């Protein structure tokens, strides 16, 4: 049980990382890999030191998936190998840099999902006399009774559509088809055990089960067509923290991307078949006491991205019983909480968990790392390293 008494002399607000919980999560995720490689999603981590700790924790962790071309260059300069950019880029300057990396540093694979992406990269490669490794993103969303279940990503859904893009890639000597990915967000990124939402949880669980077989069939069909036409993929990426157990059992999958499970943010409390240890927190100081049982903290407006919902708010978790005020929520420069069990004082720390994993790291330069209620290290976030990608 964390007491957080050791924060009394620390600068606040600050970001906190429980190294024991992080290491335990690394171990638990590795056990679920079923022999498949696990690629670490940098979007959910956003700290070089934390990424290095995860990758060194088990040989099953190999490579990272980043979210922009600039970030890929930054990570390559930091010594990371096997970097997959998880999203298409239209940043010509950064892509030109990637195309010109020497053979020793050519560790970056870029993402495409249409002929326009392919033509754009081919043009850049001609200008730079460089080359690109390409991965094709395939849509893994489902449609049930006209309802779209998943996220809006790639326009590619069928084997014929994917083959058309691969054939165009292979027309260019400066482009290399590396493989394909498909993110089943409706399985990996949607909770099915949210509190007080029984009907919604039941519907989500049913749709997830239907999607699992549909996703596997689609992936298998596309890969079979690629092999038949002489384009066997070297890399087949899928999954996420919330779908690792179903994705790793697919025969064609070579790797699964995992990110949020390492920090275990609030939204991952709401998964029926998956629980990891909360590892990342942030601490805010009480700076005001405007009324009985009301304590106002400095900062705290670290609301997660996505469709607007109160589930995206951070939650106070220490002292136990503290609550956000429904009319104010988490504010940009001040966050009031209600707490009626004991008298708190100005200067005391209130500990929160964010709804999502990596986003909160953009609000801090440092992460205070602790074990057994004692600070043992301080890691820089991306922001602390002086970079910002999105």
DSSP string, 259-290: -HHHH--GGGGS-TT------EEEEEEEEEEE
Q: Same structural domain for residues 132 and 164?
A: yes
The last residue of one of the domains, among 258, 287, 302, is 258
Q: What would the two tokens of residue 93 be? A: 């300057």
Tell me: cis bond preceding 31? Omega within 30 of 0 counts. no
Q: Reduce the DSSP state of residue 75 to 3 states and report it.
A: helix
Within-domain flag for 269: no
Taking the C-alpha atoms of residue 110 and residue 70, their distance in angstroms, rounded to an integer, is: 12
Interaxial angle between packed helices 198-228 and 159-169, expressed in degrees from 0 to 180 and rounded to the nearest 10: 50
The last residue of one of the domains, among 230, 258, 286, is 258
Within-domain flag for 21: no
Q: Same structural domain for residues 109 and 80?
A: yes
Q: Please say whether the beta carbons of 139 and 218 come within 8 A.
A: no
Within-domain flag for 187: yes
Encode burial over 62-100: b for 16+ CB neighbours within 10 A, e otherwise: ebbbbbbbbbbbbbbeeebeebbbbbbbeeeebbebbbb
Q: What CATH number is attached to the domain comprising 244?
A: 3.20.20.10
Which residues of the chain register pLDDT less than 70? 1-2, 102-106, 142-150, 185-213, 271-274
**Number of compact structural domains in the chain:** 2
Within-domain flag for 386: no
Q: Same structural domain for residues 74 and 207?
A: yes
Q: What would the two tokens of residue 114 be? A: 């249409």
Within-domain flag for 388: no
Give the per-residue pLDDT at 306.
Answer: 83
Q: Same structural domain for residues 97 and 203?
A: yes
Q: What CATH number is attached to the domain comprising 304?
A: 2.40.37.20
Within-domain flag for 305: yes
Q: Same structural domain for residues 115 and 227?
A: yes
Give the per-residue pLDDT at 198.
Answer: 47
Give the per-residue pLDDT at 211.
Answer: 65
Q: Same structural domain for residues 201 and 300?
A: no
Give the per-residue pLDDT at 145.
Answer: 58
Q: Per residue in 159-171, pLDDT tens?
A: 999 999 999 999 9
Question: Domain range holding 306?
Answer: 5-9+276-380
Within-domain flag for 292: yes
Q: Same structural domain for residues 177 and 248?
A: yes
Q: Same structural domain for residues 120 and 211?
A: yes
Average pLDDT, the chain: 89
Cα–Cα distances in Å, from 221 out to 214, 215, 229, 254, 278?
11, 10, 13, 16, 38
Q: Same structural domain for residues 238 and 166?
A: yes
Q: Same structural domain for residues 97 and 245?
A: yes
Give the per-residue pLDDT at 241.
Answer: 80
The last residue of one of the domains, among 258, 289, 308, is 258
Q: Same structural domain for residues 183 and 289?
A: no
Q: Same structural domain for residues 244 and 282?
A: no
Give the per-residue pLDDT at 169.
Answer: 98
């Amino acid at each position: 049980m964390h007491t957080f008494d050791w924060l009394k002399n620390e600068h606040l607000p600050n970001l906190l990382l429980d190294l024991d919980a992080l290491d335990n999560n690394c171990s638990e995720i590795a056990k679920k890999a079923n022999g498949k490689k696990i690629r670490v999603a940098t979007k959910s981590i956003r700290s070089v030191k934390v990424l290095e700790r995860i990758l060194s924790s088990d040989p099953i962790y190999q490579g990272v998936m980043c979210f922009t071309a600039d970030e890929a260059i930054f990570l390559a300069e930091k010594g990371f190998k096997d970097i997959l950019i998880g999203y298409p880029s239209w940043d010509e300057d950064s892509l030109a840099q990637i195309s010109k990396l020497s053979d020793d540093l050519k560790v970056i694979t870029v993402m495409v999902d249409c002929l326009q992406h392919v033509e754009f990269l081919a043009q850049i490669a001609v200008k730079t006399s460089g080359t690109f490794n390409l991965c094709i993103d395939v849509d893994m969303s489902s449609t049930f009774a006209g309802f779209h279940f998943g996220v809006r990503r790639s326009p590619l859904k069928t084997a014929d559509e994917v083959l058309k893009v691969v054939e165009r890639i292979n027309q260019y000597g400066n482009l290399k088809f590396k493989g394909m990915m498909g993110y089943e967000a409706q399985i990996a990124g949607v909770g099915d055990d949210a509190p007080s939402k029984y009907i919604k949880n039941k519907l989500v669980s049913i749709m997830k089960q239907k999607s699992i077989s549909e996703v596997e069939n689609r992936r298998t069909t596309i890969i079979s067509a690629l092999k038949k036409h002489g384009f066997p993929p070297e890399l087949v990426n899928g999954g996420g923290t919330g779908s690792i157990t179903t994705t790793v059992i697919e025969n064609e999958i070579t790797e699964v991307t995992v990110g949020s499970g390492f920090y275990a943010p609030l939204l991952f409390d709401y998964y029926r078949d998956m629980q990891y240890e909360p590892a990342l927190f942030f601490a805010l100081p009480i700076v005001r006491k405007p009324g009985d049982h009301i304590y106002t903290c400095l900062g705290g407006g670290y609301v997660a991205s996505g469709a607007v919902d109160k589930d995206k708010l951070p939650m106070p978790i220490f002292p136990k019983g503290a609550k956000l005020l429904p009319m104010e929520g988490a504010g940009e420069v001040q966050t009031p909480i209600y707490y009626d069990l004991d008298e708190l004082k100005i200067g005391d720390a209130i500990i929160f968990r964010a709804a999502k994993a990596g986003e909160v790291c953009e609000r801090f330069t440092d992460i205070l790392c602790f074990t057994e209620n004692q600070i043992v290290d301080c890691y820089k976030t991306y922001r602390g390293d002086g970079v910002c990608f999105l």
